[in-house]
Amino acid sequence: MPDILTITLKPAVDYATATDHVEAGPKLYCREPRMDPGGGGVNVARAIAKLGGEVRAFVVVGGTMGDRLLSLLAAENVPVLECRVAAETGYSLAVTDAETSEQFRFTLPGGSLSDTDARMILEQISQAVPQDGFVVLSGGVPKGLPVDFPQQVQAVVAERNGRLVVDTSKAPLQHLIHHPAAPLDVLRLDRGEMETASGREIRSIADSLAFADELVRRGVARIVISGHGAEGSAMVAGDQRVFCHAPEVPVRSKIGAGDAFLGAFTLSLARGEPPEQALTWGVAAAAATVGTEGTALLDAPETEALMPQCRLEIC
């Protein structure tokens, strides 16, 4: 099986807790927090490891919070390639209102990176990329890195004949869509990101598939996946247009569901399974994750149990 490398440029330590009721004004007393390593590629690597796959996680870290993140990853036995910078790693906080079950999510950013950091990070990525392997670039691009940094990573991956899977956001995502250098192997985005990129409302699965098809035809990516939350995920792969309906599960926390999807999807592709089978694995993994507490991720047996409930529809 090809090697898998995940890249996290903007990791975070994820804290999750609960309080009886959230309201403005009084001091809110929270329960003992749960801590997990977080950030897109970090969670993708954790998901792959939980599903029995082999993976390495390239992580840009700094400061005390970065040390804590590495300790948490070590506790989960995820092999890490540490890229050390001076800037402090960020963290996030999720607070659940026990009375209403609503979850409030806050992100506290890490420090800004420098041009020197950017060159060093790209050089270390070039040394880490496996020959003929899969590379997953997932999560945000930190302040200080150029908007085209994902495309710089793409060029490095291409030199090793690798396959690049991207799930990013904001300006770097829009740059990838509107100024493609070469087709990505896989691009994942959500409905809101599609609306921003297209300049129009995405009202239905058909609208989502139409825009994904446009991105494939324009050479943005060979496979485009759009996440639709509890409904499931849509995919255009070449001439194939499919939607995978998600199973109904009790929702405890949505944190990490998209990352779990991407981990299961990539692992399935690396095992040689077709894209529609990978899509089903991804939807099952996301459903298994929303059923966990706080910042926890999927459980492998639960993911497998949900597979038969994920219904593929050819569109």
CATH number, domain containing residue 256: 3.40.1190.20
Question: Span 238-242, mean pLDDT?
Answer: 95
User: Dihedral (C-alpha) 8, 12, 16, 21: value to the nearest 10 degrees?
Assistant: -120
Return the pLDDT at 254: 81
Query: pLDDT confidence of 15, banded at 50, 70, 90?
Result: very high
Per the residue annotation, which of 14, 167, 207, 259 is the catalytic one? 259
Return the pLDDT at 295: 66
Return the pLDDT at 148: 98
Question: Span 271-283, mean pLDDT?
Answer: 98
Pairing of strands 240-245, 232-237: antiparallel
Return the pLDDT at 252: 79
Are residues 11 and 44 in contact, defined by beta-carbon separation less than 8 angstroms? no
User: Dihedral (C-alpha) 149, 153, 155, 156: value to the nearest 10 degrees?
Assistant: 140
Query: pLDDT confidence of 243, banded at 50, 70, 90?
Result: very high
Query: pLDDT confidence of 298, banded at 50, 70, 90?
Result: confident
**In this model, does residue 147 exceed pLDDT 80?**
yes
Question: What are the pLDDT digits (tens) for 70-91?
Answer: 999 999 999 999 999 999 999 9
Compute the distance between CA of residue 163 and CA of residue 295 in angstroms, rounded to an integer: 28
Is residue 14 part of the annotated active site? The answer reads no
**In this model, does residue 13 exceed pLDDT 90?**
yes
Q: Compute the residue count for the chain.
A: 315
- 164 CB-near residues (< 8 Å, 6+ apart): 135, 136, 137, 153, 154, 157, 158, 184, 185, 186
Are residues 185 and 222 in contact, defined by beta-carbon separation less than 8 angstroms? yes
**In this model, does residue 294 exceed pLDDT 70?**
no
Portion of the chain with pLDDT greater than 70, in percent: 99
Domain span including residue 169: 4-314
Q: Hey, is 307 helix, strand or coil?
A: helix
Return the pLDDT at 251: 82
**In this model, does residue 267 exceed pLDDT 80?**
yes
How many domains, the chain?
A: 1
Distances from the Cα of 185 to the Cαs of 27, 120, 132, 140, 244, in angstroms? 49, 25, 13, 19, 20
Question: Span 40-44, mean pLDDT?
Answer: 96
